Structure 1
């Protein structure tokens, strides 16, 4: 069932089917930990993490049997070999994450950290 337009990011997870909730909730937690300065908003009716200058970092998309972590294709292209080596399905800018498989948290966190702008550290 499509998400109703106009819901807030906080309500998003509650509207998912029970089997769909663990992955998006884990990805939201990871996103908040990796990018605590990012805002969580809904874009295209999906949770999206953006910086104050409205730079989109990544998005979470949910489907019937999987979710995906989405980046811009330009960012993700040089990282596809790492995803291929991990054996996960991917496409132009996204990683397909089936609900019946554990999330590759370490790999996903590394992609998120690589997507963050240089913080001068």
Structure 2
């Protein structure tokens, strides 16, 4: 697997459809966490706030991977029942629209967690 140093290089190498979905996710996350800074970690785009990573995302062949912390997956388990999840991953198939409202809720929950609220 190719190693990337920044989000622009990562996005440029994605196939057109995957790039389009990843760009929508990137813009959604930037809007949901306006105080966060984009970063690149574990070879994935991520958002960082108050020195802590909020969430990661990555385009795979069959789905967009969204990586909040396990606490968010547990807290939103009922809303995530239609998605394949694991301890720290939510898989969003490309043939389904991004669950915008849910993603915003998960990010808000994580921001509150990082701020200690």
Q: TM-score higher than 0.5 here? A: yes
The answer to whether residue 60 in structure 2 is matched with residue 63 in structure 1 is yes
* Length, aligned pairs only: 116
Assess if the C-alpha contact under 8 Å between 1:39 and 1:51 holds in 2.
yes
Structure 2 regions of 5+ residues with no counterpart? none
Q: TM-score scaled to structure 2, two decimals?
A: 0.86
Following TM superposition, where does structure 1 have runs of at least 4 consecutive aligned residues deviating by more than 6 angstroms?
Answer: none
Q: TM-score scaled to structure 1, two decimals?
A: 0.84
CA shift for structure 1 position 6: 4.0
CA shift for structure 1 position 11: 2.2
Query: Aligned-residue CA RMSD in angstroms?
Result: 2.1
CA shift for structure 1 position 106: 1.3
2:3 is aligned to: 5
1:89 is aligned to: 84
1:38 is aligned to: 36
